[in-house]
Structure 1
Amino acid sequence: MSRPENLFPLFADLTSLPGIGPKGAQLLGQMKIETPRDLLFTLPHSGIDRRRRRSIREIELPATVTVEVVVGTHRPQKGRGPARIDVEDAETSFQLVFFHPRGDWLARTLPTGQRRIVSGRVELFDGVAQMAHPDHIAVPGETDDIPQFEPVYPLTAGLTQRVMARAAIGAVAVAPRLPEWIDPSLKDREGWPDWHDALAAAHAPQSDADLALAAPARRRLAYDEVFAHQLSLAMIRAERRARPGRASIPTGRLSAPVRAALPFAPTGAQERAIAEITEDMASSQRMNRLLQGDVGSGKTLVALMALLAAVEAGGQGVLMAPTEILARQHLQGLRPMAEAAGVVLEILTGRDKGAERNAKLAALARGDIQILVGTHAVFSADVSFSDLRLAIVDEQHRFGVSQRLELGRKGEMADVLVMTATPIPRSLSLTQYGQMDVSILDEKPPGRTPVQTALVSAAKYDDVVNRLRRAVDEGRQAYWVCPLVGESEVSDLIAAEERFKRLRAVLGEARVGLVHGQMPVAEKDAAMARFAAGETGVLVATTVIEVGVDVPNASIMVIERAEVFGLAQLHQLRGRVGRGAAASTCLLVYGAEMSESGRRRLDILRETEDGFRIAEEDLRMRGAGDMIGHAQSGMPRFRIADLERQSSLLAVAQTDARRLLSDDPALTSPRGQAARGLLWLMEHDKAIDLIRAG
């Protein structure tokens, strides 16, 4: 199966378009425009109103104006000054200004006494209205080249608007009229034009309204992008669900004693998530589910219940964490409950060497280890399971795609559960995890105390330290997170060590610990263990404590230069306190030169502890690419759709795509065939490969 022939012109060389030679094609390539298809999806971002006016007096200057003038006196260049030409419109006079005119071009183009239409930007200089280098000069009656409303495209150095506009018109001209892939009732309800008509309208706007996201043509083209993306994700989801899986039917033999030993009842959200996960595992289809919850929403219990279901079914489970600190934190959290169930739990990290590592690997291969907690070490080629039923990946965005595939190969039919501790805005969840089913933990277990959040000026450093001293004297504990002072970990380390020395000098050497990313793992673990045991009262840290660390007695979080941290990161750091019975406080210490956006972030954090709301605000402020980074996230680079402002299209597209595949799995109906064409058009290669494979 190959690309449909009617799409060939859209994937031809750019030099096939009018006005584009090898040099122009090279310049467009710098803008990631390689084909006419790319040019079609590069829409104008603004427009210039060039409707004819009687006089420049009709509009407030400076502005772009199009008027008919009578050409008057030519004033030649003097020294390095420009050439000037006096002109008169219907009501007033002004000057046309030209720097470095060539030969007799001015005399031929603007002969004295003749009428001309000129269009360009008019500004006042020393009280005189001037139009420097008009964009258009035409004889009355020959103004076809002057659009009423001129689209303005993104450019790179060396490209002009005229070249770009001409090429775009050429690309629209070679675009075929394609069969419709949008659901007819949706298209009618939204009032969307056909695909080709939408392209033509988007590249020939008649007013600012046509440039708005809500303009029917633009909204339709944005929907095409997100629908193609959601359709490809839905196909991946369907393909994964069709792979042979193994039903892991829980018996309750292990989970019942764990539930009985819990000091609290699981929240409704936890029960719902456990039910969704165990139902997936009991099915013969492979589970591919995302579990996302806010800080402290109780993901550990849900993960354990899923792991126990795998063991009850006679298999094994693995829980992957991105760092050793997190892996050991999971081990500590799971161990008491695993022991209550009589389950063999073990950890495997890069620190395991020699005979100890070999013994663990042998026990894992025999099936003696029922639940394994690990880091990247689990991806090693020599790690094999007896019967891997469930793989849980915590904090997925820190693992590469190839590593997740390798984990899948270790258990050919294993169910997969991805956990993320950072709430994801719905729009990003749909684009990043649209091929997965989603469970959400939106309640917090009883016993979690609200965290009081306060903004403190760095000028009050001594007050903050005195507050810490009193808290430590009372037996409480605190984190002090150091600022991100530069691009390198070395500069962050210097800041952390400097703060560590100053706090030790004030609070006492034995009372202050230090952890940072450059420490040997053993030292880091030892420092964390001393803090967890209450031997040190204050832990100075870089953001290595961002997720997963759980010390219930820690009730104060100081974040220095908080304004330079991201919202989600601040929320995660704040989540390290409020885990015990004591009232907890988060002090956001800000510098003297805080930006407006930095202030807004801190205000949002002070207003709410709702991680889902914080995530939406973060998306609104930073944009999708900045939030998770395109490269490691697999986020699509939409050319037209705006994820932040058109998120409602995503949910519609996901529902529509899944419904289409449910009704027409092979995409053989007329609409299905049209949707195949859309996937080719949008270059969704993975989905096309699935079509090829049947």
Structure 2
Amino acid sequence: MGIMRPESLFALFAPLTTLPGVGPKIAPLAAKAAGGELVRDLAFHLPTGLVDRRYRPKIHEAELGRLCTLEVMVERHQPGAMGRPYKVHVSDDTGFLSLLFFKPHARYLAERLPEGAMRVVSGEVTERYGERQMIHPSRILNLDDPDLGVVFEPVYRSVAGLSHRTLARICGAAAQKAEGLAEWADPALVAREGWQSFGAALMRAHAPDGEDEILPSTPARRRLAYDELFARQIALQLSGAARRRTPGRAIVGTGAYTDALVAALPYQPTHAQSRAFAEIGTDMAAATPMLRLLQGDVGAGKTLVAAWSMARAAEAQMQSALMAPTEILARQHYTGLAPLMAKIGLRLEVLTGKDKASHKRMVLDGLATGAVHAVCGTHALFQQGVVFQQLGLVIVDEQHRFGVADRRRLIDKGFAPHVLAMSATPIPRTLAMAVYGDLDVSRLDEKPPGRAPIKTIAMSLDRLDEVAEAAQRAIEKDDRVFWVCPLVEESDKVDVSAASERFQDLQAMFGDSVRLIHGRMTSKEKDEAMEDFRTGMAKILVATTVIEVGVDVPEASVMVIEHAERFGLAQLHQLRGRVGRGGKPGHCLLLYANPLSEMGARRISKLRETEDGFAIAEEDFKLRGGGDLLGLRQSGIPAFKLADAALHADLLAVAQRDARVLVEADPTLSSPRGLAARLALHLFDQVDPETFLGTG
């Protein structure tokens, strides 16, 4: 499918400065609020609330503390002195009111509120020393102002320096640019749901005429959600079709290495692992390249499945590459897998950017000649000088941490290799369908034997002394302690300062055995702190960023999470899974601030009653919706702008079916509806069928 953008979308993909009233000062603020620099980004920046200006009493009938709109006569101005506010005295036939302004522009106020003029002002009325007041009215209008008829005013997520009124005006102007686009939805569905066109629904979403109009269940919001889900499902259908057309190499196993691998284990694989072996074996034996996602809860044994897959590839004289997002994880995989692979006669090496030149040369020679059967590494694996003799299997660990281009560059080292993506983030089925479509998924939903249970304890932050004592007891037993400080939204300075303070407190107690990791450190500094903790030079690791998923420190037995109520359920579960990995019982201390909200209490209660990551992910999905599951930004799952996979789950099934029917009937999207569907693909950044896991 061509990627030329259709002309009817040019206005939506134009810079924000093409909108009336958006100059070089407002444009960067609007871009920050909307999360993008195009008109389309503002059009998709939907209101989150509503100001209701219908209450229009007289001055002395106005309910104190309630937003009201008053029609008043401007009596006189009283400039403030000595830090006092500037006052404008106004009246109606029931009494007087003072409008108060702090740090005012006197000339501006004289122009907006000339003495003797009638004006309409909006704000909350308060009373002080018997005088009725309104501090900084949110609206000052003339009696003939067209905005006077707007009684419901949408409220948006904004940024400092950009007023809600300005943002509402330019978002509405942006939405108008979507008028008249060709219809891509099934006409029968549009009629059944009573939907307007996409453009009309977008404009309606920006001009709600009541509290209910903000809800995701309104027809306008459901229409927009469907369109976004539909575009993604079409992209996934196209991606799947392209993959099925790509000839690959069938890897038919002999069992020589895989049987030896299982026999060499000191335990029996779980039923879930055996099921994954069978599913992967079947996929690799097909001529179409495998694309499978292996989802395993923390400690569910994904590494063994990776080893089995590498052994299967080696049975057909094919090489494997396992790509991890960090050097620590790449080396950890190597350390865990190399002895097992050597036991069955296979050579595994590690390749990262920090290796010595002599080691790199040795690995590169082995990969080129086929002497190295498998390699674990970081981005170093897809650099120019890396040449494989026969790359047949690519395993991507924590696949969401790599960009599309990264995965593609590694896959291009082979001839249509089979791809296994691994993730320790349990994703609810509904969300998996929304994000990955028909992708084949293997789930490891059992824990291997020998994993100690983790005791989860909830405590008030007031009991920090007791927590420090628990940390002391763990250290005396030569255990390690993770100590996590929460992320504060949009304020990494606050994060760093809070974590630094906690670090200093703990250093005062435990001396040089404490290390700190936060978002402003370089990768090298983080790696060094992590390595000190792993080797035992440090016993306590204080961190703001979520501890690397997959980082394995068997000696860690205590996880302290401050302000646990601020974390998502699935995130708390991921953190908890960092401890209890070395056979010793683990303890997870959830510290919360009082008073604990009902939502916070539910999360903590659910975490205490189960260690099943999939059950927890489903509950998190219900509690938080799909909009920010796990903090989608942290999990790497592409976030939706207009849809919520939890609240619009019924539409997801419809969108998936509609997309499948359309692509099967019109695989090149060249029919009138197919051409309209191309608009949706462009509009929602889905033009490339390789956008998601379809690239590996």
Does the pair score TM above 0.5?
yes
Unmatched segments (≥5 aa) in structure 2: 487-494, 515-524
Distance 1:344 1:689 in 2: 34
Which of 81, 85, 90 does residue 90 from structure 2 map onto?
85
Structure 1 equivalent of residue 381 of structure 2: 378
Quote the residue 1:575 is aligned against: 577
C-alpha deviation, 1:438, in angstroms: 2.5
Alpha-carbon spacing, 1:589–1:479, altered in 2? closer, same or farther (3 Å):
farther
Match of 2:678 among 671, 676, 679: 676
Instruction: Please give the alpha-carbon distance, in whole angstroms, between the structure 2 residues aligned to 1:372 and 1:421.
Output: 21
Q: 1:385: how far off?
A: 1.7
Q: Please tell me the residue identity of whatever aligns with 2:668.
A: A
Amino acid at match of 2:49: S
- Distance in 1 (alpha carbons) for counterparts of 2:138 and 2:528: 64
Match of 1:293 among 292, 296, 304: 296
Matching residue of 1:207? 210
CA gap of 1:103–1:266, structure 2 versus 1, over 3 A, is closer
Q: Give the Cα separation in 2 of the matches to 1:160 and 1:520.
A: 43
> For residues 128-162 of structure 1, what are the alpha-carbon distances to aligned partners after superposition, in whole Å with 9 as ceiling and x for unaligned?
4445658355659x978422433344555665555
Instruction: Provide the residue aligned with 1:666 in structure 2.
Output: 668
Question: SS state of the match for residue 90, structure 2?
Answer: strand
- Give the Cα–Cα distance (whole angstroms) in 2 for the partners of residues 681 and 375 of structure 1: 34
Q: 2:229 aligns with which of 226, 229, 232?
A: 226
Query: C-alpha distance in 2, partners of 1:586/1:261?
Result: 32
Separation in structure 1 between the aligned mates of residue 80 and residue 548 of structure 2, nearest angstrom? 68
Counterpart Cα distance in 1 of 2:170 and 2:577: 53
Cα displacement (A) at 1:252? 2.6
Aligned partner of 1:217 in structure 2 is 220
Q: Is this contact kept in 2: 1:252–1:312, CA < 8 A?
A: yes
- Contact 1:236-1:435 within 8 A present in 2 as well: no
Structure-1 separation of matches of 2:98 and 2:277: 75
The C-alpha deviation readout for 1:22-54, integer Å capped at 9, x for no partner, is 665565455456554444323333323333756
Q: Relative to structure 2, which stretch is displaced further, 311-320 or 585-594? A: 585-594
The answer to whether the aligner puts 1:363 opposite 2:366 as a matched pair is yes
More moved, 204-213 vs 434-443: 434-443
Whether contact under 8 Å (2:123, 2:134) holds in the other structure is yes
User: Is the contact made by 2:293 and 2:420 (CA closer than 8 Å) also made in structure 1?
Assistant: yes
TM-score, normalised via structure 2 length: 0.77
List gaps (5 residues or longer) in structure 1. 111-115, 505-515
Separation in structure 2 between the aligned mates of residue 632 and residue 589 of structure 1, nearest angstrom: 21
C-alpha distance in structure 2 between counterparts of 1:331 and 1:14, whole Å: 49
- Cα distance in structure 2, aligned partners of 1:182 and 1:428: 22
Q: CA deviation at 1:608?
A: 2.5
Moved more, 223-232 or 679-688: 679-688
**Matched ranges for 1:157-236 at <5 A:** 163-188=166-191, 190-236=193-239
- Show the 5 A alignment for 1:303-452: 303-323=306-326, 325-335=328-338, 337-338=340-341, 341-349=344-352, 353=356, 355=358, 357-425=360-428, 429=432, 433=436, 436-452=439-455
Query: Which residue in the other structure is 1:509 paired with?
Result: none
Paired residues, number: 649
Report the CA distance shift for 1:595/1:379 in structure 2 as closer, same or farther (over 3 A).
farther
Whether the aligned pair in 2 keeps the contact of 1:563 and 1:601 (CA below 8 Å) is no
Q: 2:126 corresponds to which residue?
A: 124
Counterpart in the other structure of 1:74: 75
CA distance in 1, matches of 2:590, 2:213: 46
Letter of the aligned partner of 2:659 in structure 1?
A
- Match for 2:125: what amino acid? E
Letter in 2 for 1:464: A
Query: Secondary structure at the residue paired with 1:217?
Result: helix
- 1:478 is aligned to 479
Instruction: Output the CA distance in 2 between the equivalents of 1:85 and 1:545.
Output: 61
Are 1:585 and 2:586 matched, yes or no? yes
Q: Give the letter for the 1:121 counterpart.
A: G
1:273 aligned residue (272, 276, 293): 276
SS of equivalent residue, structure 2 residue 223 = helix
Q: Distance in 2 between matches of 1:339 and 1:411?
A: 24
1:106 aligns with one of 94, 99, 114: 114
**Conserved in 1, the CA contact under 8 Å of 2:100 and 2:133?**
no
Q: CA deviation at 1:125?
A: 2.0
Equivalent in the alignment of 1:6: 8
Supply the distance in 2 between the matched residues of 1:336 and 1:400 (Cα, whole angstroms): 31
Partner of 1:459: 465
- The alpha carbon displacement at 1:625 in A equals 6.5
Q: Is the 8 A contact 1:227 1:653 kept in 2?
A: yes
Question: Which piece of structure 1 moves more, 639-648 or 355-364?
Answer: 639-648
Q: CA deviation at 1:387?
A: 0.7
Aligned twin of 1:557: 557
How big is the shift at 1:208? 0.5
Change (3 A) 1:353 1:19: closer
Segment drifting more, 617-626 vs 130-139 = 617-626
Q: Which amino acid aligns with 1:459?
A: D
- Contact persistence 1:493–1:518 (CA under 8 A): no
Match of 1:419, SS state, is: strand
The aligned counterpart of 2:489 is none
> 1:447-482: CA deviations, max 9, x gaps?
544322335643236753675489x5xxxx633335
2: CA distance, partners of 1:87 / 1:278: 82
Identity %: 42
Change (3 A) 1:48 1:277: same
**Does structure 1 retain, via aligned residues, the 8 Å contact 2:625–2:644?**
no
Question: Does 2:50 align with 1:44?
Answer: no
For 2:672, the aligned partner's letter is P
Secondary structure at the residue paired with 2:183?
coil
How far off its partner does 1:16 sit? Answer: 5.9
Whether contact under 8 Å (2:484, 2:542) holds in the other structure is yes
Asked whether 1:686 is paired with 2:688, we answer: yes
Which of 240, 244, 249 is the equivalent residue of 2:247?
Answer: 244
Question: Whole-Å Cα distance in 1 between the matches of residues 467 and 159 of structure 2?
Answer: 48
How far does the alpha carbon of each residue in 1:376-403 deviate from its partner, in whole angstroms, 9 at most, with x for none? 4434433322111001122234445444
Q: Counterparts of 2:366 and 2:147 in 1: how far apart (Å)?
A: 81
Distance 1:273 1:458, change over 3 A: same
Following TM superposition, by how much is the alpha carbon of 1:274 offset from its aligned partner in structure 2, in angstroms? 2.5
- Structure 2 counterpart SS, 1:439: strand
Q: CA deviation at 1:269?
A: 2.6
Q: 1:524 to 1:183 in 2, by over 3 A?
A: same
Is the 1:269–1:440 Cα contact (8 Å) retained in structure 2? yes
Report the CA distance between 1:294 and its aligned residue: 0.4
Aligned-pair CA distance for 1:573: 5.3
Per-residue displacement from partner, 1:660-684 (whole Å, max 9, x unpaired)?
A: 3233221123322211111233344
The residue aligned with 1:135 is: 139
| 1:151 equivalenced with 2:157 (yes/no) | no
Deviations 1:403-442 (A, max 9, x none): 4333212213211211122324556645665584332212
Residues 648-657 or 199-208, more deviating: 648-657
**What's the counterpart of residue 507 of structure 1?**
none
Partner of 2:492: none
Following superposition, the deviation at residue 233 of structure 1 comes to: 4.1
Give the alignment's TM-score, normalised by structure 1: 0.77
